[in-house]
Structure 1
C-alpha cells in the first residue's frame, strides 16, 4: 500500500475506512487504526469525508482483516513493518545475530558465523536500497543480485573503504566453506568491527536513525582483566598456515592508503597508565570528528623522555621560585608532589606509577624527572596566597 506523506488518505485507505464504517466501527477507532505506523497522521475530518462520499466502494472483509493484521506488525521503536520492510528487518536481525554469536563466551564458531551472517545482512540491506530506488534486483536466471555484484555497481552508495571491507568479508566467508578456522577469530576482529560500524553508519544514512542497531547493542563484558603481554601473544598463538595465507591475500591487492582506511579495518590504540577516576574512561574518536587529527598526532608522535620531562626536583624548585616570586625549595617541592599525588613515595613496589602529565620514573638510574607542565601548574597554583600558605603547612 502506498504511503502518503501529505497526511491525506490514499484511494486504498479510503476503501478501507469505508469498509470499517460499513461494519459499524466508530470514527475515532478507525482513525487510530489508520494512524498506526503512519508517517503523517490523519485527523477525524478525513474519516468524516469518507463517510459522506457515497462513491467510495468499501473494501472486502478479507482486505479489512489483512489491514488490521498488518497494523499489528509495526515496531514502535524502528517504525518498520514486517510486510513492507521485511528485507530491512532481516538485515538488522542478521547483523544482530552475527554480533551476538561473536560476543558469546560459550560459542567457538565465531568467525565463521559472523562472516556468513554479516554477508547476508549487507545483501538484504542493499537489496532494499535498490528496490526503493526502482532498480531490478532479480536477474534473468531468477536469482537476486549478489553482494559482490551490488558493490561493483557504479550507483553503489558505499565508500571505497566499506567496499574493501565487504570484499574481505566475502573472501573470509568463502574460506569458511572449505577450511577449518580453529582459533583464528581474533585475527579478523578488526575487519569484523569495521563491518559493524560501517553497517550502522550505512543503515542510518540510507533509512534514517530510527533503524539504528546501537539501540539494541551494548559493549560486551569480560571477566578477565587485560594483560598486555598476553594480548600480544594471543595474536600469533596457534594460527594455521592457511589463515596466515588468507590474511595476506586479503591485503595484497590494497595499497597502503586503502589498508589504513578505518572503514576497511578498525583499529584502536590502548595505553596503560594510572589516571584519576574522572580520566579513566575509554574514548573512541571517529577520524572525521573535531579534534581527531590532534589525537592521531599524539598517538603517532614519538618523543624521548628527557625532552618531555627535562627537570629534576632541584631545577623545578628553582624555576618555580623564579617564576612565581615565592620562596620555594626542594622541601616545598616534596610537599607539592605528595599533596597532588604526582608520584609514589620512596621504596614502593611500583615506582613507575606516576601522573604522566607531570612526572616519569627512570628505571635505568632509579629517579624521577618532571615536565614543564608541572612547573607551570605549580606557578599557577602558588599565585593565590591561600594556596601558598596551605602548601607550606602540608605535612609530609
Structure 2
C-alpha cells in the first residue's frame, strides 16, 4: 500500500518501538567511541542490528499494524519463550523491499559478520580496523532511513570518531595482538570480509552507502588556527582540479582491490545450504535429507541419471561438470529461509509431496 512519508507519530506502540530503536543506535555509537571498549565491533554491530530491526518494526507497526510476525502453515503465530516471533532484520529487509542495492549489501554484510564474530574467539581490534568504513555507512544509512521514514526530528547528528593512533610506542599487548592476526579464527573472519567485498559489483563496492572511504591528510601550511583538524568533504563538492589531485594521491597510497577469477565462488554444497539456512531459522532445522526432498519437490535440478545434467533452475542451482555434482547459491538459501519462516510449507508437507508425487515438482514462483 502507498504510504505518505515521513510518518508522524504522536504516541502508541509504534512510537515506543521507534524510541527504543534510536536508543539502541545511540548506545551503539557510545560503545564504538569509548576508548577502552574491549568488544567494540561485537557491541556496535549487535546494537545497530537491534536498532535497524526496531526501526523496521516501528514502520510496520505504523503502516500495517501488529502483523510483522512469522506464522505457521496453519496461520497461527510462531512463538519463542511465549512471545510471538517477530520478523528478524533479514526478513524485514525483504518485506520492505525499497532499499538501494548498496544499502542492502551493507545490511547483509553485518547480518552475516555478526554471526561469525560472535562464535569466534579473536582479538577484535583487527576486525575494528578492517571494517571501519562499513561501520560508518551502517550508521549513516540508519540515520538517513530514520529521517526518510519519520522526519528530521529524529536525526541523530552523531558519528563514529577516529581512534588516536600510537605509531611509535608498541607494548607487549600490541605485539600479541599482531600475532593473533595469524590465528585461524581471525583469518576466517578476514577471508569472509575480503570475499564479500570482492563479490560486489564495482558500483556497489564504491558506493558510500556500502562503505565510507576516508583519506586523512595533514595540513602543513596555510592553515588557519580556527580550522578543524579533520574536515569531511563530499567528493561531489570537489573541483575538477582537486579531483585529479585526489585520484593521483589515492592511486599511490590506497590498498588495491584485486579481483581474482575463481571457480564456483560463493556456491554451496547441500551441507553448506543446510548450515546457512539453519543459522537463520528458529523453529525448524533442516538436514541434507530434507534438502534432498526439497530439491526434488521444486525440481531445481534433474535426477542423477538424467540425460542432460545441465537442466537446472539456474536461479538457484547449477551443474559443476568437473566434479559431477550440483551447487547452490544465496538465492536458494534465501528462498528456503523465506519458505519456512513465513510458514509457506512445512517439512511434513514437503515430505508428503515428495513421496506421493515422486519427481513431480512444485513451482518455486508460487512460493516466492
Give the corresponding residue for 2:210. 264
Please give the TM-score of this superposition, normalised by the length of structure 1.
0.49
Tell me what 1:166 maps to: 107
Separation in 1, partners of 2:248, 2:44: 35
Structure 1: where are the runs of 5+ without partners?
A: 1-38, 40-78, 304-396
1:149 and 2:91 matched: yes
Partner deviation per Cα, 1:44-85 (whole Å, 9 max, x = no partner): xxxxxxxxxxxxxxxxxxxxxxxxxxxxxxxxxxx8757551
Corresponding residue number in structure 1 for 2:247: 300
Separation of aligned partners in 1, 2:179 and 2:14: 48
Residues 252-304 of structure 1 show CA distances to partners (whole Å, capped at 9, x for unaligned) of 431222111111011111123403332564221235x544776544311369x
Match of 2:191 in 1: 245
**Change in CA separation of 1:238 and 1:261 when aligned onto 2, cut-off 3 Å:** farther
Whether the 8 Å CA contact 1:95–1:121 is kept in 2: the answer is: yes
Question: Secondary structure at the residue paired with 2:50?
Answer: helix
**Residues 314-349 of structure 1 deviation map (CA, whole Å, 9 limit, x = unaligned):** xxxxxxxxxxxxxxxxxxxxxxxxxxxxxxxxxxxx
Could you say if the C-alpha distance between residues 103 and 246 of structure 1 is closer, same or farther in structure 2, counting changes exceeding 3 Å? same
State how far apart, in whole Å, the 1-side matches of 2:201 and 2:168 are: 30
2:62 to 105, 121, 132: 132
Alignment partner, residue 30 of structure 2: 100
User: Corresponding residue for 2:270?
Assistant: none
Q: Whose Rg is larger?
A: 1
Task: Name the counterpart of 1:203.
Answer: 146
By relative contact order (CA 8 Å, sep 6+), the higher-ranking structure is 2
Question: Is the contact made by 1:171 and 1:250 (CA closer than 8 Å) also made in structure 2?
Answer: no
TM-score in terms of structure 2 length: 0.52
Aligned partner (choices 268, 274, 283) of residue 231 of structure 2:
283
Q: Whole-Å Cα distance in 1 between the matches of residues 34 and 179 of structure 2?
A: 21
Note closer, same or farther for the CA distance 1:267–1:134 as it changes in structure 2 (3 Å cut): same
Q: Which residue of 1 aligns with 2:134?
A: 191
RMSD: 3.4
Partner in structure 2 of residue 91 of structure 1: 21
1:116 maps to which of 32, 38, 46: 46
Q: By how many angstroms is 1:204 displaced? A: 1.0
Question: CA 1:162–1:296 in structure 2 vs 1: closer, same or farther (change >3 Å)?
Answer: farther
Alignment deviations for residues 104-145 of structure 1 (CA, whole Å, 9 cap, x no partner):
112211111111111111000111112222263112124111
Q: Deviations over 1:76-108 (max 9, x none)?
A: xxx875755111111111111111111111221
- Give the length in aligned residue pairs: 220
Change (3 A) 1:283 1:226: farther
Q: Is contact 2:28-2:44 (8 Å) kept?
A: yes
CA distance in 2, matches of 1:296, 1:80: 46
User: In 2 relative to 1, CA 147–280 (structure 1 residues): closer, same or farther, beyond 3 Å?
Assistant: closer
